[in-house]
A and B are shown apart, each in its own frame.
Chain A
Amino acid sequence: MSDVMALLTWTNIRFLLEGLGLTLVIAALSIACSAVLGAVLSVMRGSRIRALRALAAAYVELFKNTPLLLWIMFTFFVAQLPPLPAAVLAFTLFTSASVAEIVRGGLAGVPRGQYEAARSQGLSGAQMYVHIILPQALRNMVPALLSQFVTTIKDTSYLWGAMALQELMGRGMILMNSYNSTVQIFAIFALMALLYFIVCFTLSQAVRAYQRRLRGDR
């Protein structure tokens, strides 16, 4: 027990929490960038120009069917970017394929009547999207985007192994170097798992609560 107490110092906990901070920053940046790229992709997929549609479809298929870790390695070793940009780029490339599908689903979920009604009120195309369609589509998309955020948070754990970026997983591993009793290693793993769990569980519960509310609205 004293072993565990020796581990649970404020310094160590802050050390881990800083890692968690980096994890969240990377995940948030990636999701934000993916949202933009994903929206562009889904617009491309709905485009009238065949080549654009094909390009977007190929992009989505490529990233849907190859592992994230591969793209992390790719941006870091092949593209030779510094760790943080490499990480965010890899996550953005990978996640935007999923986000594109989410956006497409969100837009498809807005009833056609809404488009027609907006048009009949004399709104321009842009106005229609900004004031009528997107707010509704966004409401449909929020749960899926949050789940994607959870996935991204979990996936940041690759970054330590791939490019020694000190996110939560990395910080835990570093901490493990200075403690070597079984109980302590156990405790460090438990602590990491707990931190991930708290963040991800809270978010996924929020998703569920939000979905329940949406359903209740109807």
Chain B
Amino acid sequence: MAEVFAPYKWAALAERWPDILAAFGTTVAISALALLIALVLGFVFGVLSVSRHRALRAVTRVYVEVVQNIPLLLQVFVLYAVFPLLGLSLASFWIGVLAIGVYHGGYISEVVRSGIGSIHRGQFEAARSQGFSPTQVMTLVILPQAMRIILPPLAVQAANLVKNTSVLALIAGGELMYFANSFAGDTSYYGPAYVAAAVLYFALCFPLSRGAVYLERRMLAHRHVTTGDATEELASDPLEVTPGSHDITGHAAAGALAGGVGTMMEGTTSLVPARRVPSPRHPLHAWSVTIVAWDVALAPCVPGEDVPGACAGGVPTAAALTGSFAPVGSVPFRRAPFSGNQAAEIADDIGRELAQEALDASGGDRGRAWQALHTRAGRRRLGHGRPGAGAGRTTPHGALPRPRRGRGPAAPGGHRGAPRDPRRPGGGGGGAR
């Protein structure tokens, strides 16, 4: 085995470094262009796959199934061997870009489809009822929310795409794998050639797949409003909850409050500081806030004060939170104040109200309303989510706020009569202080 990796073989490979660099560059270029095509196709077909028109859905289905169920290499060969017969000759570089782009477009379209599918129906309806056109609903309301779910698997797809460029070696694509093959073939120094190729592929793919993991964690750590159907799933599988800040409403909140909290905490070290809960005026809010205390309790924050590295304006910073992901103790929640269905309905109402609120606050400008709903900067501009705004909700451990409305069934819609100013200092949690 030592002979396979003899030093003089490595030296021979090292001498070819300009070619290695060129081949690596080709791999990167093919990957980038193919990814571009794949993204365009993926998003177009992903959106079409939830279209109301049967024919459009059928077209996307056929595209996805054909592309996913026939080997990539065969598709490459079709471009390579069959198209020239029809008078369509492409350089292997462009064959690679096209074939790999189309192939992964099918996969990305499925990713996009499931991302859109994860957004609760209420969001579509709410947006439609606010007068958004179907295109606006998709681009302004649904996709921005779905992006969080789409991004991690998208990064995985990007890594797969880079790996799949290696098939071009079989049609003399001039990329990294082809270089490794031809160098190995010319010199019969197989060992160094393939190890070097492995290292370079790894260097390309590893950041992408780590990125996927990072995005997934961040997605879960990010403020995450879970409503409707998604919550139902979450409730059925609490172990799936990962450290981070979720605003859990609906079924999961009800389930968690009904006694699942312990399990969720144990399995995942920390359940979800809901730092900005959708509607401070709703009983759900009070309950979610109570969960906050679990985590926040560890960060010594005094409302309105800054502690370097731990608190900003009385709210624990992300750094402080990651440092404190440890179960604090158990909170004696036993019963949910309402059923899962009620909670889900309430959550949807909140979503609708939020949209309306944002629209009102931005003077009917939908672009700004969208920003307010989906970007931090937008929220800040409208005065939502200011660091200080949540101050009243962080409660030292041991002084857990009690639910404002006791356990009486919070009639869905009962919150409608509540005060309309969400920026009221202290919010709902204030009631417990």
Contacts and interface: CB of A to CB of B under 8 A. Distances in A.
A185 B69 contact: no
B239 A112 contact: yes
A204 interface: yes
A64 B209 contact: yes
A154 B167 contact: no
A154 B177 contact: no
Given A62-B202, A64-B209, A73-B180, A158 B73 contact: yes
A161 B78 contact: no
A189 B80 CA distance: 12
- Give the secondary structure class of B's interface: helix
B65 interface: yes
Interface string B66-81: 1011111110011001
Contacts of B71: 154-157, 169, 196
A74 B163 contact: no
A95 B422 CA distance: 52
B74 A65 contact: no
Given A65-B201, A65-B206, A200-B69, A77 B184 contact: yes
Given A65-B206, A78-B191, A158-B167, A201 B181 contact: no
A184 to B, nearest CB: 10
Given A69-B177, A189-B78, A197-B66, A108 B194 contact: no
Interface string A152-188: 0011111001100000010000001000001001100
A161 B172 CA distance: 11
Contacts of A204: 65, 68-69
Contact of B205 (A66, A78, A111): A66
A73 B201 CA distance: 14
B266 interface: yes
Contact of A186 (B66, B82, B191, B201): B82
Contact of A111 (B167, B194, B239): B239
Contacts of A197: 66, 69-70
B267 interface: yes
Interface residues of B, number: 44
A218 interface: yes
B89 interface: no
Contacts of A154: 69-72
A192 B169 CA distance: 21
B167 A196 contact: no
Given A108-B239, A200-B69, A200-B70, A77 B164 contact: no
Contacts of A186: 82, 85
Nearest to B181: A73
Interface string B259-275: 00001001100000000
B136 interface: no
Interface in B135-180: 159, 163-167, 169-170, 177, 180
A67 B166 contact: yes
A193 B166 contact: no
B69 A196 contact: yes
Contacts of B267: 112
Interface in A50-79: 61-62, 64-70, 73-74, 77-78
Contacts of A158: 73, 167, 170
Contact of B236 (A78, A113, A218): A218
Given A169-B73, A189-B74, A65 B170 contact: no
A46 interface: no
B205 A77 contact: no
B69 A201 contact: yes
Interface of A: 61-62, 64-70, 73-74, 77-78, 108-109, 111-113, 150, 154-158, 161-162, 169, 176, 182, 185-186, 189, 192-193, 196-197, 200-201, 204, 218
Given A65-B205, A68-B163, 11 more contacts: A70-B194, A70-B197, A74-B198, A109-B237, A157-B72, A157-B74, A169-B73, A185-B81, A185-B85, A189-B78, A204-B68
16 contacts: A66-B163, A70-B180, A74-B190, A74-B194, A77-B184, A77-B190, A113-B263, A150-B69, A158-B167, A169-B73, A185-B82, A189-B78, A196-B74, A197-B69, A201-B69, A204-B65
